[in-house]
Amino acid sequence: MDMSGALGRRFGSLGLSIDAFHTRITVHHDTGVSAHGPGAQRAETFARRLLESLAIDAGVRVEIETAIPDHLGLGSGTQMALAVGKAISALFDVPLATRDIAARLVRGRRSGIGVGAFDHGGFLLDSGVGRDGGVPPVTAHLVYPDAWRVLLVLDARGQGLHGTEEVDAFRRLPPFPADLAARLCHLAVMKILPGVQEAELQPVAEGIAELQRCVGDHFAPAQGGRFTSQAVADALSWAESLGHCGVGQSSWGPTGFVLLPDQASAETLRAQALREFSDVPSLRFVISSACNHGSRIARLSSAKVVTEA
């Protein structure tokens, strides 16, 4: 909402926790440090880093049953880091707050949404990175209406910016206008949040769409347009032509989304999209509801902890 940080806090985010994808891991005591399954290399890196940070001279084995797909704008890295971190802290009886784990594993440097989603789920607003550079605080957390749905538009041909490319993109972007930041904050506080609270989709959809247009156009030089994927952009434009105004891109994309009032509307739009874009095999349309709870952590024994995020 404010990339320039004119008031001392930079970025600021809105986000929704969804139930379409999960990360589920089991962490065991072991003689060395290893990880197995989807996203194993990343999980092993997080495990080694946290054990070193805590000065724990012991090994773990991370077994990954499912993982959120990487680099699609769905928060995969943060959820994997926090799942591994929470499991290790439970396994070794070291009480750590989620924000502390995020800081130790270098997550949440620009957005606090992933940390808030791990702890609470639901619809979240964070108020940006302060002068201390810490994980942005979640300053609003709302239950997202259970009936509402999100139609995700995924493009298998691309990935959003991440890593050093993402850092470089932020450095190259022009200053974010203060009047635009004020407008986006006005939309968030006076239109989007009350719309979620009172279960009125129209103001939420309108507010999110305007925020997405403003931020997407600002990011366009770095990502090649308002949206990272042209195929996703075409699908979202088509959805808007049918009267669905709540469209946007998750993070750097390429995943797009359409906000919808119920399951029936989502199924109808998905069926229409599959027909309309049958000649674009890289596109996939997935219906999701909100996830209004945080992660689940279970200590199965003295030697095994399971985390689902």
165: pLDDT strictly greater than 70: no
* 281 and 297 housed in the same domain: no
Query: Quick check: is 49 in a domain?
Result: yes
CA-closest candidate to residue 292, choices 138, 119, 139: 119
249 or 175, which is more confident: 249
- What is the tens place of the pLDDT at every residue in 67-84? 999 889 999 999 999 999
Q: Which of 141-150, 157-166, 222-231 has the highest mean pLDDT?
A: 141-150
Is the whole model's pTM more than 0.85, yes or no? yes
221 or 151, which is more confident: 151
Q: How many domains does the chain have?
A: 2
CA-closest candidate to residue 13, choices 131, 138, 134, 103: 138
Residue 149: the pLDDT is 98
* 153 and 284 housed in the same domain: yes
- What is the tens place of the pLDDT at every residue in 186-202? 999 999 999 999 999 99
Q: What percent of the chain has pLDDT over 70?
A: 96
* 58 and 152 housed in the same domain: no
Query: Quick check: is 3 in a domain?
Result: no
* 192 and 220 housed in the same domain: yes
* 17 and 128 housed in the same domain: yes
Query: Quick check: is 20 in a domain?
Result: yes
How many CB atoms are located within 10 Å of the residue 93 CB? 8
* 201 and 304 housed in the same domain: no
SS (H, E, C) 243-287: CCCCEEECCCCCCEEEEECCHHHHHHHHHHHHHHCCCCCCEEEEE
Residue 200: the pLDDT is 98
Residue 162: the pLDDT is 53
* 120 and 164 housed in the same domain: no
How many CB atoms are located within 10 Å of the residue 172 CB? 9
**CATH number of the domain enclosing 302:** 3.30.230.10
Residue 157: the pLDDT is 86
Residue 3: the pLDDT is 83
Query: Quick check: is 296 in a domain?
Result: yes
Rounded to whole angstroms, how far apart are CA atoms 248 and 119?
25
200: which strand partners? none
Query: Quick check: is 2 in a domain?
Result: no
* 191 and 120 housed in the same domain: no
Residue 300: the pLDDT is 83
Query: Quick check: is 1 in a domain?
Result: no
**CATH number of the domain enclosing 155:** 3.30.70.890
* 206 and 262 housed in the same domain: yes
* 135 and 34 housed in the same domain: yes
- What is the tens place of the pLDDT at every residue in 106-131? 998 889 999 999 999 999 999 999 98
* 280 and 164 housed in the same domain: yes
Q: How many CA atoms lie within 13 A of 192 on its CB side?
A: 27
Rounded to whole angstroms, how far apart are CA atoms 289 and 148?
7
Q: What percent of the chain has pLDDT over 90?
A: 81
The least confident of 51-55, 147-151, 167-171, 265-269 is 167-171
* 154 and 282 housed in the same domain: yes
Rounded to whole angstroms, how far apart are CA atoms 252 and 160?
5
- What is the tens place of the pLDDT at every residue in 14-73? 999 999 999 999 999 999 999 999 999 999 999 999 999 999 999 999 999 999 998 899
Give residue 189's domain range: 145-288
Query: Quick check: is 156 in a domain?
Result: yes
> What's the mean per-residue pLDDT of the chain?
93
Q: Which residue has the tokens 């009032």?
A: 261
Query: Quick check: is 6 in a domain?
Result: no
Pairing type for strands 296-301 and 33-36 reads: unpaired
Residue 166: the pLDDT is 62
Residue 180: the pLDDT is 94
